[in-house]
């Protein structure tokens, strides 16, 4: 009965898709269905969890444990802790890095806003450093210019699946005794000098939201080699209870006033991953090589069909990196004489839905309000050198004005996808001729 109800709900969700703007089907009308995002293997894994009647990891379930161990082996880190969302993973990674209220955290202005708002959520102060306008990824020199005595951590985002310049960023962090957090939500299995992203920082975080390289609908993970960082992440995400694994010693709850306690050692949220999420994520991890290969084929088709157009600059790839594209970013050259926003509007009018870049964090209303009242949303006073206003990261704003992206989600069928790209190519050529 329970299984039948669940499968009916799943079937409706699969047909209807996600309803939130932050949980879309893989974006862009260029996407043409080719494979299921989830399929029979995921359904079978869900059935097994439902039949077990153990949906929560704290009820002696085993899917979350199995997923954590599999992902630790996949990425090559000692400790992995699975959470209910990528945003929870962002927050836990900062706590794991030792960020405390009043600390400053250097963030890129260009990222999904959870990257910087997670600093706000733990009582810290986001400080935005400028980016390379070709990639919208943090500029190592800009990071160094923002470091103060209150700087505790820097968060680097491997945006769109392009690895950041990790050699220089690691050098800057170590030289200034600043903790390094990698946000790998968009960059599973991408590499810098043959080494997977997520293995350079003190802590790394990942997302399992539906548009990502693998998915459980929602979900996230932190990964680290530092036992103390792992302990902090677990406590923060499990209501202060030390549900450690990997042989990490657990304190024994103490008696108080003659009564037993449960052993809540610190403040924390309930951000645990469920067995249902983990069962799907574990199957998806086993398919990641197949998914990666499909994404590479689709990105290659974008480059093939659009790369020689006068207006178009293909994604900038740093030396010694192998991207694993989440979406494929392209830039409009100045000869286009229009912004990416205007270009996308023209494309939409013709039936093509491309994405212009909308995520310069400090321009959002939430940051404008913080700047106005000179406090974060949690009431932490902003120091005079921290401003959230237009112009503080000019390269980010310049780069964002010319950047747009095309989905290369692995669900797309390469054949129809290429035909749609050829139609887009013809439209762009026609548009160029009319300018």
Q: What is the CATH number of domain 34-287?
A: 3.40.640.10
Contact predicate 28/407, CB 8 Å: yes
360 is written with which tokens?
A: 């310069």
How many angstroms separate the CA atoms of 29 and 353, rounded?
A: 5
Buried b (16+ CB within 10 A) or exposed e, 95-115: bbbbbeeebbbbbbbbbbbbb
How many angstroms separate the CA atoms of 285 and 270, rounded?
A: 24
The number of CA neighbours under 13 Å toward the Cβ of 124 is 29
Residue 90 Rama label (left phi>0; alpha psi -120 to 50; beta): alpha
H helix and E strand count, the chain: 14, 16
- Model pTM? 0.92
H/E stretch holding 223 reads strand 220-224
pLDDT digit string (tens) for the chain, length 435 residues: 334 434 433 433 343 333 333 444 434 446 566 778 999 999 999 999 999 999 998 766 799 999 999 999 999 999 999 999 999 999 999 999 999 999 999 999 999 999 999 999 999 999 999 999 999 999 999 999 999 999 999 999 999 999 999 999 999 999 999 999 999 999 999 999 999 999 999 999 999 999 999 999 999 999 999 999 999 999 999 999 999 999 999 999 999 999 999 999 999 999 999 999 999 999 999 999 999 999 999 999 999 999 999 999 999 999 999 999 999 999 999 999 999 999 999 999 999 989 999 999 999 999 999 999 999 999 999 999 999 999 999 999 999 999 999 999 999 999 999 999 999 999 999 999 986
Q: How confident is the model at residue 31, as a pLDDT?
A: 58
46 is written with which tokens?
A: 């869900």
Q: How confident is the model at residue 307, as a pLDDT?
A: 96
Find where tokens 């974006």 sit. Answer: 27
Contact predicate 190/219, CB 8 Å: no
């Amino acid at each position: 009965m329970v299984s039948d109800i669940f499968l009916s709900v799943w079937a409706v969700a699969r047909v209807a898709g996600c309803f939130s703007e932050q949980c879309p089907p893989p974006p862009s009308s260029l996407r043409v269905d080719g494979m299921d995002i989830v399929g029979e293997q995921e359904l079978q894994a869900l059935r097994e969890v439902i039949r077990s009647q153990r949906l929560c990891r704290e009820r002696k379930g085993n899917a979350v444990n199995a997923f954590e161990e599999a992902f630790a082996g996949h990425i090559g880190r000692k400790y992995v802790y699975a959470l209910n969302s990528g945003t929870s993973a962002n927050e836990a990674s900062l706590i794991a890095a030792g960020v405390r209220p009043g600390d400053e955290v250097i963030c890129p202005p260009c990222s999904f806003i959870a990257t910087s708002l997670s600093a706000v959520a733990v009582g810290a102060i986001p400080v935005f450093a400028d980016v390379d306008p070709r990639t919208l990824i943090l500029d190592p020199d800009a990071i160094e210019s923002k470091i103060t005595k209150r700087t505790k951590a820097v968060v680097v985002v491997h945006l769109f699946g392009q690895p950041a310049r990790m050699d220089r960023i690691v050098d800057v962090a170590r030289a200034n005794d600043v903790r390094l957090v990698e946000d790998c939500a968009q960059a599973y299995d991408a590499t810098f000098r043959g080494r997977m992203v997520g293995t350079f920082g003190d802590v790394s975080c990942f997302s399992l939201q539906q548009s990502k390289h693998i998915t459980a609908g929602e979900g996230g993970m932190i990964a680290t080699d530092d036992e103390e960082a792992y302990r902090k992440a677990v406590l923060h995400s499990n209501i202060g209870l030390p549900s450690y694994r990997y042989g990490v010693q657990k304190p024994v709850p103490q008696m108080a006033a003659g009564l037993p306690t449960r052993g809540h050692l610190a403040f924390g949220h309930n951000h645990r991953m469920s067995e249902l999420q983990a069962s799907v994520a574990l199957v998806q991890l086993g398919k990641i090589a197949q998914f990666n290969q499909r994404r590479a084929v689709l990105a290659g088709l974008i480059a093939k069909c659009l790369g020689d157009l006068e207006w178009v600059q293909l994604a900038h790839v740093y030396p010694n990196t192998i991207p694993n594209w989440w979406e494929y970013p392209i830039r409009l050259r100045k000869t286009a004489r229009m912004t990416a926003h205007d270009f996308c509007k023209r494309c939409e009018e013709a039936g093509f839905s491309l994405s212009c870049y909308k995520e310069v964090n400090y321009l959002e209303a939430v940051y404008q309000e913080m700047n106005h009242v000179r406090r974060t949303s949690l009431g932490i006073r902003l120091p005079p050198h921290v401003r959230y206003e237009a112009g503080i990261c000019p390269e980010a704003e310049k780069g964002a004005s010319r950047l747009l992206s095309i989905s290369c989600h692995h669900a797309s069928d390469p054949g129809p996808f290429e035909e749609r790209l050829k139609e887009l190519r013809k439209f762009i050529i026609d548009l160029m001729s009319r300018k």
